Amino acid sequence: MSTSSWDRIVNDRRADILVLWQEKGLELFEEKMAPHTPLAEGLRDAMDMVLEGFVADDETCREGISGISRILAVQPLRPSRSLLLFRELGAILHTMGPGDADRDECDRRIEEMIFQAFDSFMEHREKIYQLKVEESRSRVAMLLRRHAS
């Protein structure tokens, strides 16, 4: 099965794939989360962008990967656990593809997405920690000013 066949599967079954993938995404969170919370809707929107550009690896897909990574980066999850979400997409696609599907092509694309997601996840985590350091510095500076006066 060629790349265009995977594109066709994603396009034809997009709504079903999105529902199943969002369920897997919501399972990552410790507390039970309804699919209509703002966080869940943000996750779904980013997932939909990934599916839109799944095969083409276009800017829409990269924006979706970044959106998912941003949401997961602020959660108390390890990167490895967060990025399992993309393996789940591969598993969902394998169940929806015909038996003669070129699974290697799908797996290659999922692997590329995982690498992109890891880079994005780490960039977001670094930014979060950078903001925390800057906030701590501001607090210390404010305390020193108070103490000096």
Where do the domains of the chain lie, and which CATH numbers do they carry?
3-148 (1.10.490)
> Of the candidates 112, 115, 109, which has an alpha carbon nearest to the alpha carbon of residue 97?
109
Q: Using an 8 Å Cβ cutoff, are 50 and 66 in contact?
A: no
Query: Would the pLDDT of 2 be above 60?
Result: no
Percent of the chain as helix, strand, coil, to the nearest 5: 80, 0, 20
State the CB neighbour count (10 A cutoff) for residue 89: 25
Span 104-109, mean pLDDT?
Answer: 90
Q: Give me the pLDDT at residue 101, please.
A: 67
Q: Give me the pLDDT at residue 3, please.
A: 53
Span 128-148, mean pLDDT?
Answer: 89
Span 37-54, mean pLDDT?
Answer: 93
Angle at 36 between CA 113 and CA 78, to 5 degrees: 40
Helices (H) and strands (E) in the chain, counts: 6, 0
Span 49-60, mean pLDDT?
Answer: 86
